[in-house]
Amino acid sequence: MPYRAPVTDYQFLFDHVVDLATVTATERFSDADKDVTDAILTEAGRMCEEVMYPLQRVGDLTGSVLENGVVRTPKGFAEAYGQIAEGGWISTSADPEFGGMGLPHSITTAVNEMMSGACLSLQLNPLMTQGQIEALEHHASDEIKATYLPKLVTGEWAGTMNLTEPQAGSDVGALNSKAEPNGDGSYAITGQKIFITWGDNDFTGNVCHLVLARLPDGAPGTKGISLFIVPRNIPDASGEPGVANSLKVVSLEHKLGIHGSPTAVMQYDGATGWLIGEPHDGMRAMFTMMNNARLGVGCQGIGVGEGAYQHALAYALERKQGRTPVEGGTGTIVDHADVRRMLATMRADLFAARAIAMACAVAIDMSTATGDAEWKARAAFLTPIAKAFGTDTGIAVAEMGVQVHGGMGFIEETGAAQYARDVRITSIYEGTNGIQSMDLVGRKLMDGGEAAYRLLDEIEAHAEEARATLPELAEPVWEATETLRETTEWLVAQTDMNNRFAGSVPFLKGFARILGAHYHLRAAMGEEDKGPRTKLARFYITRMLPEHSGLLSQAVRGAEDLYAISVEDLGA
Which residues belong to the active site?
A: 430
Query: What gap in Å lies between CA 552 and CA 268, rounded to an integer?
Result: 47
Question: Do residues 530 and 474 lie in contact, with contact meaning Cβ atoms separated by under 8 Å?
Answer: no
- Going by DSSP bridges, is the β-strand pair 247-252/70-72 parallel, antiparallel, or unpaired? unpaired
Query: What gap in Å lies between CA 258 and CA 82, rounded to an integer?
Result: 20
Instruction: Identify residue 135 by its one-letter amino acid code.
Output: A
Residues written for the chain: 572
Of 540, 542, 511, 508, the closest CA to residue 523 belongs to 540
In 3-state terms, what secondary structure has residue 251?
A: strand
Half-sphere exposure of 385 (CA within 13 A, CB side): 31
Q: Tell me how far the alpha carbon of residue 472 is from its chain's centroid.
A: 33
Q: Tell me how far the alpha carbon of residue 421 is from its chain's centroid.
A: 17
Partners of 212 in the β-ladder: 227
Question: Do residues 437 and 505 lie in contact, with contact meaning Cβ atoms separated by under 8 Å?
Answer: yes
Query: What gap in Å lies between CA 131 and CA 138, rounded to an integer?
Result: 11
Q: Tell me how far the alpha carbon of residue 401 is from its chain's centroid.
A: 20
Q: At a CB cut-off of 8 Å and minimum separation 6, what does 129 contact?
A: 90, 152, 155, 157, 158, 159
Locate all alpha helices (DSSP H) within 467-503, ordered by sequence: 471-493, 497-502
Instruction: Give the sign of the dihedral formed by CA 247, CA 251, CA 257, CA 262.
Output: positive
- How many other CB atoms are found less than 10 A from the CB of residue 369? 19
Question: Do residues 207 and 129 lie in contact, with contact meaning Cβ atoms separated by under 8 Å?
Answer: no
Region of 338 on the Ramachandran plot (φ > 0 left; ψ -120 to 50 alpha; else beta):
alpha
Query: What gap in Å lies between CA 556 and CA 565, rounded to an integer?
Result: 18
Instruction: Identify residue 147 by its one-letter amino acid code.
Output: T
Query: What gap in Å lies between CA 112 and CA 99, rounded to an integer?
Result: 19
Query: What gap in Å lies between CA 55 and CA 416, rounded to an integer?
Result: 15
Query: What gap in Å lies between CA 295 and CA 364, rounded to an integer?
Result: 10
Beta strands in 29-177 (DSSP E): 65-67, 70-72, 157-162
Instruction: Give the sign of the dihedral formed by CA 50, CA 51, CA 53, CA 54.
Output: positive
Instruction: Give the sign of the dihedral formed by CA 432, CA 414, CA 263, CA 138.
Output: negative
What letter would DSSP give residue 219?
A: P
